[in-house]
Amino acid sequence: MDTLDLHACGITDDGKLWHTSRSVQSSHVVWSPWEEVKAQGMSSLHHFVKVACVSTRREKDGSSTDKEFHVLAITDDGKLLHTSRLVQQNWQPFEDLGTTLGNTGSFRNVGGNEFRGTLDICVIVSVEHGDQRILHTTRSSNGAWSGFEEITQSQLAGFPTSFTSADCAATFIVFLFGGLHVCGLTHDGKLWYTLNFQQPIWLPFAQIPAKNTPNAFTDVSVALAGGGLHICSQAEGTVWHTMRFLNPPKWQDTFDNVKEHAGSNPGTFVSASCANLAGELHICGLTDDGKLWHTFLSSSVPAPGWQPAWHPFEDVTALAGSPGHFTFISVTGDSGTWGPIGGGGDPTCDTINTCIANDTLQIQTLQAQKASTTNSARIAQINQQIAGLQQAIGSLQQQRQEHHCP
């Protein structure tokens, strides 16, 4: 029987990297004891500061096979290392991705998710003049890496300011049509969102709209679950959550204070990460005393107007033990099995209509930001981005008319 587990990778204040997993056995939840992640031939000199863990499936003949667990870790000297293992096997030797994919600078943070066996990774890298940019790369199910792409270099996406954290998640928006959602956190603690798809290649970066946005977030984590893109971050000592509904595209009006909704207060949170497991959204967060806590949403499918129902926090360090004082956490869920992609509807019309809806939502978000700023340079940038989106919508509407789309 193929069981699905929730995995957590944590870094302790001595720079060591640890892993535990949460499984459900006969309706009873079990956390495995912590194990130190020690790749073959690993130098004991590595001191880790950031980590992202992702569970994928290997592919054979268009369908999924064995689960593969990946760890991407950043060292205090700015290296980005990758290791993986199959179930019940040893960790593979660490691969230095800066060397493998081209040394682009000093790596500062990392995030990632998977879709149908492909691993999507977004990293923060320091470049000239002290700026920190977002780079993206993919690893296919056969183990091949793509080259780094700088997301913030896109003319339409723009570059709000220097980033400190980023995460990404890919999905098929419609039949055979993929999109990469990217959320980034800038030095001033603001959350930004962009989407990569066909018309245009990248949407402009826009701040995530909400009525009760905290003053300054730290780190960001995203997950696709239940028909929405969920965004989780820490600010003001608590974990916050919002989401972008995918169909039709719409932002949740507010950020949820997860501690308030869960009805429990473990303490002051300093780090948080979220993941999808079998359609449910799970969050693991660290408190300032180095403990790890876990909560999750009910499995109800969200829609505009939906109210989240969070379960009370459980103390993972009491259930799995504690190898030390944790300083950073990443969480991922095993992906389910999948087979060849099915069809349905007119893929061309579905693609065109989805692109128009996403462009329109991004214009609305940019217009709201324009109304709230007096910065002439930012207003000019927003006007340019809106003009580019309007041009793209005009082209899409022409395509829709020529294709006789509803």
CA 257 to chain centre: 19
Beta bridge partners of 119: 114, 139
Does 347 sit behind a cis peptide bond, omega within 30 degrees of 0 on the bond before it?
no
CA 297 to chain centre: 17
pTM, rounded to two decimals: 0.86
Q: Is 32 helix (H, G, I), strand (E, B) or coil?
A: coil
Ordered per-residue pLDDT tens for the chain, 406 residues: 568 899 999 999 999 999 999 998 767 889 999 999 987 766 666 899 999 999 998 765 544 567 899 999 999 999 999 999 987 788 999 999 999 998 778 999 999 999 878 899 999 998 766 688 999 999 988 889 998 988 877 666 666 778 999 999 988 655 445 689 999 999 999 999 998 875 557 788 888 988 889 989 999 999 998 878 999 999 999 999 999 988 778 899 899 999 999 988 999 999 999 999 988 899 999 999 999 999 998 765 566 666 678 999 999 999 999 999 999 999 999 987 655 444 455 667 766 777 777 778 788 778 877 887 888 888 888 888 888 888 888 887 888 777 778 7
Burial annotation 106-126 (CB, 10 A radius, 16+ → b, else e): bbbbbbbbbbbbbbbbbbbbb
The CATH H-level (homologous superfamily) assignment of domain 6-340 is: Fucose-specific lectin (2.120.10.70)
Element (H, E) at 28: strand 28-31
Burial annotation 28-44 (CB, 10 A radius, 16+ → b, else e): eeebbebeebebeebee
